[in-house]
Amino acid sequence: MKHWKYLTGSLVALSFTACTDKVLDRINTNLNDPKDVAVVNEISTVTTETAFGTTGTDMAWYASVFVEHNAGTYGQMLAADNRTAVNASSLMNNSWNAVYDNMMILNDIINKCSPGGKEQENKASLGIAQTLMAYNLAVTSDMWGQVPFKEALKGMGNFKPKYDKQQELYEKTIQPLLDSAIKNFARPTPDGVITALGNTDLIYHGDVEMWTMAAWSLKARYYLHMSTVQPAAVDKALEAVANGFADAGSEMLFNVYQATATGENPWFQFNSDRQYLSIGKTLYDIMTQRNDPRIAKYFVPKASGYVPAPNGTADETYSKYSVSRLSYPGSSEARIAATPLMTYHELKFIEAELKARKNEDFKPALQAAVEASFAYHKATGGAAYYTAQVVPLLGTTQAANLKEILTQKYIALYEAESLESYNDYRRTRIPALNNPNNNVASYGFVERFPYPTSETSANGANVPKVNIFRDKIWWAGGTE
């Protein structure tokens, strides 16, 4: 079912987050006075903006380079691979503004649908907004660390909000938002609202059972992040896994693209217009070492075969190296491919890692994760691959098992799920990366994104002073 009458305007505005500071300004007809917009109509905006502003555009493109899924071979992606200007405040200015614009609208929905609001009976939309607020805030904090929230989202009320520590955001805002969402999904919502959400909710089309599983799955992801520095979060994460996605049919996807200039997948659009990315040698080598049949699904060969770009030392070129089959022109499927916000295979990898860390039987979850990844990419032979290539690499030690679990997850999350691979690497340092620029004394691996111009110029007194190459975020072992 196509929901294009609600989506087209959003896609046009959002397709080029990287190109202009004015994107998202036209999403609603009256964003300056959002109280005039019905919540069901705002839902189409926030579902679209969440997909585009996080895993769909700049943040994910850069993360794919930092984590060596892809290699930058032209323009700003080549510069990122070479660590040129990645510390510039302009690097993520548009992404920051986009996600905060979206959280402003989400906050408006939450206020309208909370007790005393003009749509207080609309519990389904309240739960959706709380889930997406947790998602957007978590992505923002994961990429930058400390970010403003408690004093932010007030529009004209506060131009200089203080920054909140990541630990407090995770413990006191992100997880509680998801808890509240789960409760609200269980509460009644008028049938007419659910019917309307069928058209304007561009993720689950008003299905609160699906949204409930998504909220639990996100809780598992965020407890996994926390478990690096809070081991007790492992059990909480496993509890959340048990209530998460039942199967691949319930995973959290934005899947309403069309094969038109204004309706195509943003990864496809970026690679079609810019051609700045090639396949990374780090990922390609890991897959060839395992005779991974997903290679044919992931990459486009040159006439001489697959030619991966060496991460950090690639030539500046449009055509020398192989490119992604998942997002480059030449595949009609790539043009309309779904944007994954969280997948079933990610959840099963989370379960496998958590159980391995508890020295419990993780293999059924790992096999399910690998096979789900094969199915997601329409590759065959997942069970045979697991038996022949994965099982022999599992060891008798926890460290050996975690290494292969996380390596398999790294393979599976290529390329649209690169944000979570970036998070995994910062948590675990698995797999080994090869960009020589990671070891240069004056810079190194990019541990976090630089704070944007919009903040350093207007709210500079509150912006934390950090070194993006040295200062880890809280859940990766950093200090705040």
Nearest to 299 by CA among 257, 330, 258, 262: 330
Name, in order, each residue with C-beta under 8 angstroms of 168's C-beta and a sequence gap of 6 or more: none
The alpha carbon dihedral of 279, 346, 47, 191 has a sign of positive
The β-bridge relationship of strands 323-324 and 299-300 is: antiparallel
Q: Which residues of the chain have pLDDT under 70?
A: 1-35
| CB-CB contact of 369 with 409 (8 Å) | yes
Residue 21: predicted pLDDT: 41
Residue 155: predicted pLDDT: 77
Give the burial string for 230-245 (b: 16+ CB within 10 Å, else e).
eeebbebbbebbeebb
Global model pTM greater than 0.85? yes
Tell me which fold the domain 4-263+337-341+433-472 belongs to: 1.25.40
Residue 417: predicted pLDDT: 98
Nearest to 435 by CA among 185, 77, 82, 56: 82
Distances (CA, A) of 387 to 365, 370, 406: 14, 11, 17
Residue with tokens 């390609």: 284
Nearest to 120 by CA among 188, 43, 209, 213: 188
| CB-CB contact of 113 with 126 (8 Å) | yes
Tokens of 238: 């496993």
Distances (CA, A) of 374 to 206, 298, 339, 383: 28, 11, 17, 9
The alpha carbon dihedral of 218, 224, 225, 226 has a sign of positive
245-249 contact pairs (CB < 8 A, 24+): 245/213, 245/214, 245/217, 245/342, 245/344, 245/347, 246/213, 247/344, 248/343, 248/344, 248/345, 248/372, 248/375, 248/376
Mean residue pLDDT of the chain comes to 93
Q: Is the peptide bond preceding residue 34 cis, with omega within 30 degrees of 0?
A: no
Q: How many whole angstroms separate alpha carbon 334 and alpha carbon 339?
A: 11
SS3 for the chain is CCCHHHHHHHHHHHCCCCCCCCCCCCCCCCCCCHHHCCHHHHHHHHHHHHHHHHHCCHHHHHHHHHCCCEEECCHHHHHHHCCCCCCCCCCCHHHHHHHHHHHHHHHHHHHHHCCCCCCCCCHHHHHHHHHHHHHHHHHHHHHHCCECCCCCCCHHHCCCCCCECHHHHHHHHHHHHHHHHHHHHCCCCCHHHHHHHHHHCCCCCCCHHHHHHHHHHHHHHHHHHHHCCCCCHHHHHHHHHHCCCCCHHHCEEECCCCCCCCCCCHHHHHHHHCCCEEEEHHHHHHHHHCCCCCHHHHEECECCECCCECCCCCCCCCCCCCEECCCCCCCHHHHCCCEEEECHHHHHHHHHHHHHHCCCCCHHHHHHHHHHHHHHCCCCCHHHHHHHHHHHHCCCCHHHHHHHHHHHHHHHCCCCCHHHHHHHHHHHCCCCCCCHHHHCCCCCCCCCCCCCHHHHHHCCCCCCCCCCCCCCCHHHCCCC
| CB-CB contact of 328 with 250 (8 Å) | no
Q: How many whole angstroms separate alpha carbon 281 and alpha carbon 293?
A: 16
| CB-CB contact of 124 with 194 (8 Å) | yes
